[in-house]
Structure formats: structure tokens, C-alpha cells
């Protein structure tokens, strides 16, 4: 998109400004513009970029959610919305190849997934180690490990998802501007003012979906976000990708006896990219400016060594590695709310703690509710930032 100079631009007043057009921001721009709002979207990089968190070719999606049963209703709605986005854009978003949550029966992954499945009546099967090996010969569980199998689990295409939401937002009239970072924002009168190096914009409402830039753009929120460097690896399996194709190999989240969680995917992009794996946590603290984008040999060796004990054919040869960032809250739950200090005009969606992408479309729907209606029917009480920061101090008497 070409830029217009300050001298010739007439700055319009928008209904809503969305800061950040990655996963959450692109979905917010879509849902807001679909409801007739005049939307300005501002993104510091280009569309569907590789500098934040919404990239890497695949993200796990699952409904038997070990993190907390409270997430399940949002996941059910997200699945509906992903199907709608696929119909509306013709883009491939979800591949539901099935998934296993593997570990000891009393570990967080298995016990938490089973609790969510049983709480919400989700279809699932419990598999012992022998049945895991029989159904999925690529997997080599220990004798004391079990799995929850979920047929409706699978993977999402993050780049396609962001591109689809941007496509829909543009079709609906949203003004999306790329390579235009936000310098600062502030309330003004009954709305907000947003400053970029190119111009100053005003709107009645502001939505902030900053990803790893949350500490910079939401310092006044009071949430101590931690930015973590994470690594994604693509290995060529020994003997080729045949046994790792989606019809044979599920997505998985695997918790070892020490509590280390790794996750991975079938080979969905052919032999050129093999099969993708990563650790779920174990990230290094960084900032968007200081992140080390180089993946080092000792990191590759650690990932390969870990996976060789669980999926012996997988490590093979490294084909590719890439970094991304988690923006993590102290309790690893999201922040989706009206800004406590600016409840009349500012909505925030951030701190997705490494497990947020599967919620992208429903977060967009929630954010549109909050920005346009001031409330949402979705269950979002868990995501109030005041659970971390405490209530605002009472106003001094006049």
C-alpha cells in the first residue's frame, strides 16, 4: 500500500482503531467492519509477517483443553467461526487430523484434557500405551503413559488465517495500513488519539492487540508480561514422511515425566518441510528488539534428543528452524477486557501465553462485542487483568 504524505492527507475520524493486525487484530478488524464500524487498522510490519507470533505454517487446535475447562465454550465457537472463514474466503484454515494428549495419567496434560472432555461431554477416547502404539506406530510411549485421543483436534494454518481475516476486513471497507507503527496513544474527549510517524488519528474506540509489543503499548495496564523466544523445528523423518502424513499421524502434546511439554504435527507440506515439532515452554526471556533470530546447534540437538525418545523416526535431519515469541502472563491465562483505566474507550486483547492462536476468530468476536457494545455474552471473566493487578484504587473524594 502506498503512503500519502502528511501534507496531502486528510485524517478521518474512525469508529474504531485497531492496533496490531496479526492473529487477534486481523480477526478484530474483520468482526468490527462486518458490523458496519468504520475501522482503521495499523500494523508496524507488512501483512502476514514473520516477526511476531502468527506464523510458522501450523498451530495446534484442540477442544479437550488441559489448561482449564473454562476455555471450552470459546473453542466450540472458534471452530464454527473458522469454518465460516473458510467458506467466505476459500482458504484452507483447519485440518482436523485428530490429536493425542500424551503423558502420565496424573500429569497436567492428560488429567486436564480429561477433565475438560468430561466436563463438557466432548467425544474422546482414553488409550493405554499399547493402543497408542497400535493406532499410531510413529509414537513410542513409555509403559506408564496414556493418551486422550480427540478426533476433532488438528491444526490451523496461521498465515492463511491472518490473510483471510485481512481479506474479509478489506472487503467490508476497513482501512488497513501497514508499515505504520504506533508511537503512542491517549484518551481524548469521548474517544482516543493514536500517533504514528505518519499521522495522528482519532476514533471513538481503540482496540489494542499488540502481541509481543504489549509491554511497550500497554505499560499502564499493570500486567507484568514476559516475552519469550520460542523455536519451531522441521525435521525430515528417517525413512521419509510417509508414516507422518495426516492420515496416519496426529497432532500431539506430550508431557514427559519431568513435566516438559513438547508438541508436533503431521507432515502437511510434503518432504520439503518434513514434520514440525517444538517445546511448549522452555523459552528464553527477550524483547521484540533483542530476540535472537538465529537457531543454534545446541538447541537443535536438545530438541532432536528429546523427540528421539518419543518418536524415534522423527529427528532425522533438520530442514528448517524459526523463532517466534510468546507473550506470557503470570498465570498463563489471557487478557481480554476493557482497559480498567480507560473502560469507556479502550479494549485490550493480549498475553495469550503461547496457547492463543486457536481462539483467534472468537477473540475477534469478543473484542467487537466489547468495543461496540461494552460487554460480551462470551465467558471472559477469567481474562480480566484485575485478577493480576488488583482493583483500581478508589477515586479521591471531590
Would the annotation count 16 as a binding residue?
A: yes
Q: For position 5, what pLDDT does the model report?
A: 37
Is 41 marked within a binding site? yes
Please, where are the H alpha helices in 172-296? Answer: 214-217
Q: What does residue 361 show for φ and ψ, rounded to 5 degrees? A: -65, -35
Distance CA 321, CA 234 (A): 6
Whole-angstrom distance, CA of residue 347 vs CA of residue 336? 8
345 appears as a binding residue in the annotation: no
Q: What would the grid cell of residue 53 be? A: 507470533
Tell whether residue 127 is among the known ligand binding residues: no
Enter the C-alpha cell of residue 61: 487446535
Does 35 count as an annotated binding residue?
A: yes
Answer yes or no: is 353 a known binding residue: no
30 is in an annotated binding site: yes
SS3 (DSSP) at 220 = helix
Q: What is the pLDDT of residue 392?
A: 62
Residue 170 three-state SS: helix
Cell of 357: 492462536
First to last CA, the chain: 50
- Output helix, strand, coil percentages for the chain, rounded to the nearest 5: 30, 25, 45
Map grid coordinates 505499560 to a residue.
Answer: 219
**The pLDDT value given to residue 366:** 98
> Does the annotation place 117 within a ligand binding site?
no
Closest CA to 23 of 99, 93, 97, 98: 93
Closest CA to 276 of 360, 131, 158, 129: 158
* 90 annotated among ligand-binding-site residues: no
| Residues 117/125, Cβ–Cβ less than 8 Å | no
> Does 156 carry a binding-site annotation?
no
Nearest to 154 by CA among 271, 43, 225, 58: 58
Question: Is 21 annotated as contributing to ligand binding?
Answer: yes
- Per-residue pLDDT in tens (0 to 9) along the chain, 398 residues: 334 334 334 456 899 999 999 999 999 999 999 999 999 999 999 999 999 999 999 999 999 999 999 999 999 999 999 999 999 999 999 999 999 999 999 999 999 999 999 999 999 999 999 999 999 999 999 999 999 999 999 999 999 999 999 999 999 999 999 999 999 999 998 899 999 999 999 999 999 999 999 999 999 999 999 999 999 999 999 999 999 999 999 999 999 999 999 999 999 998 999 999 999 987 899 999 999 999 999 999 999 999 999 999 998 899 999 999 999 999 999 999 999 999 999 999 999 999 999 999 999 999 999 999 999 999 999 999 999 998 765 544 44
237, 316 Cβ separation under 8 angstroms: yes
Is 42 labelled as part of a ligand binding site? yes
Q: What cell numbers appear for 247 in the block? A: 492420515
* Reported CATH class of domain 95-154+226-328: alpha beta
**Is 22 marked within a binding site?**
yes
Q: Is 296 within any annotated ligand binding site? A: no
Q: Which grid coordinates belong to 361?
A: 476468530
Beta bridge partners of 230: 324
Q: What nine digits make up the cell of 172?
A: 467490508
| Residue ranges, CATH 3.50.50.60, the chain | 14-53+159-223+331-387
Distance, CA of 160 to chain centre: 13
Q: Is 275 annotated as a binding residue?
A: no
E strands in 130-271: 146-150, 154-156, 175-177, 184-188, 191-195, 200-208, 226-236, 251-255, 261-264
Per the annotation, does 23 bind a ligand?
Answer: yes
Q: Is 132 annotated as a binding residue?
A: no
pLDDT at 226: 97
User: Does 26 carry a binding-site annotation?
Assistant: yes
195 marked as part of a ligand binding site: no
Q: Does domain 14-53+159-223+331-387 have CATH number 2.60.40.10?
A: no
Instruction: Assess contact for 292 and 323: CB atoms under 8 A.
Output: yes
**CA pair distance 214, 350, nearest whole angstrom:** 7
Q: Is 356 annotated as a binding residue?
A: no
* 306 is known to lie in a ligand binding site: no
Given a contact cutoff of 8 angstroms between Cβ atoms, the answer to whether 313 and 199 are in contact is: no
- 273 marked as part of a ligand binding site: no
| Residue 253 counted as an annotated binding residue | no
Strand stretches in 65-210, DSSP E: 94-95, 99-103, 125-127, 146-150, 154-156, 175-177, 184-188, 191-195, 200-208
Q: Is 54 annotated as a binding residue?
A: no
Residue 262 marked ligand-binding: no
Among 50, 52, 17, CA closest to 327: 52
40 is in an annotated binding site: yes
| Nine-digit cell string for 274 | 518434513
The H-or-E segment that residue 73 falls in is: helix 72-89
CA distances from 7 to 17, 64, 202 (A): 22, 54, 18
Question: Residue 316, annotated ligand binder?
Answer: no
C-alpha 213, offset from chain centre: 14
Q: Where in the chain is the domain with CATH 3.30.9.10?
A: 95-154+226-328
Amino acid at each position: 500500500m502506498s503512503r500519502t504524505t502528511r501534507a496531502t492527507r486528510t485524517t478521518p475520524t474512525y469508529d474504531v482503531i485497531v492496533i496490531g493486525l496479526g492473529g487477534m487484530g486481523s480477526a478484530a478488524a474483520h468482526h468490527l467492519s462486518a458490523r458496519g464500524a468504520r475501522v482503521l487498522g495499523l500494523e508496524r510490519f507488512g501483512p502476514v509477517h514473520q516477526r511476531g507470533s502468527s506464523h510458522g505454517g501450523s498451530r495446534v487446535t484442540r477442544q479437550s483443553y488441559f489448561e482449564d475447562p473454562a476455555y471450552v465454550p470459546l473453542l466450540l465457537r472458534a471452530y464454527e467461526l473458522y469454518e465460516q472463514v473458510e467458506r467466505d474466503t476459500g482458504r484452507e484454515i483447519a485440518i482436523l487430523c485428530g490429536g493425542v494428549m500424551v503423558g502420565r495419567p496424573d500429569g497436567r496434560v492428560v488429567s486436564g484434557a480429561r477433565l475438560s472432555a468430561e466436563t463438557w461431554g466432548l467425544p474422546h477416547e482414553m488409550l493405554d500405551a499399547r493402543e497408542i502404539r497400535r493406532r499410531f506406530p510413529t509414537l513410542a510411549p513409555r509403559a506408564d503413559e496414556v493418551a486422550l485421543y480427540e478426533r476433532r483436534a488438528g491444526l490451523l494454518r496461521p498465515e492463511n488465517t491472518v490473510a483471510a481475516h485481512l481479506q474479509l476486513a478489506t472487503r467490508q471497507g476497513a482501512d488497513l495500513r501497514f508499515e505504520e507503527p504506533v508511537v503512542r496513544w491517549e484518551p481524548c474527549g469521548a474517544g482516543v488519539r493514536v500517533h504514528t510517524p505518519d499521522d495522528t488519528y482519532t476514533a471513538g474506540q481503540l482496540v489494542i492487540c499488540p502481541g509481543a509489543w504489549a509491554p511497550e503499548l500497554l505499560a499502564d495496564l499493570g500486567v507484568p508480561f514476559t516475552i519469550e523466544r520460542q523455536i519451531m523445528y522441521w525435521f525430515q523423518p528417517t525413512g521419509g514422511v510417509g508414516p507422518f502424513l495426516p492420515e496416519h499421524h496426529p497432532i500431539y502434546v506430550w508431557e514427559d515425566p519431568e513435566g516438559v511439554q513438547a508438541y508436533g504435527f503431521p507432515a502437511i507440506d510434503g518432504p520439503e518441510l518434513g514434520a514440525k515439532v517444538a517445546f511448549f515452554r522452555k523459552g528464553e526471556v527477550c524483547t521484540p528488539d533483542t530476540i535472537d533470530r538465529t537457531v543454534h546447534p545446541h538447541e537443535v540437538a536438545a530438541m532432536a534428543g528429546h523427540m528421539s525418545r518419543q518418536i524415534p523416526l522423527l529427528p532425522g535431519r533438520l530442514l528448517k528452524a524459526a523463532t517466534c515469541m510468546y507473550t506470557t502472563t503470570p498465570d498463563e491465562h489471557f487478557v481480554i477486557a476493557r482497559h480498567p483505566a480507560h473502560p469507556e474507550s479502550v479494549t485490550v486483547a493480549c498475553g495469550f501465553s503461547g496457547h492463543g492462536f486457536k481462539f483467534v476468530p472468537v477473540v475477534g468476536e469478543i473484542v467487537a462485542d466489547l468495543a461496540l457494545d461494552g460487554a460480551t455474552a462470551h465467558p471472559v471473566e477469567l481474562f480480566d487483568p484485575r485478577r493480576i493487578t488488583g482493583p483500581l484504587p478508589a477515586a479521591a473524594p471531590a
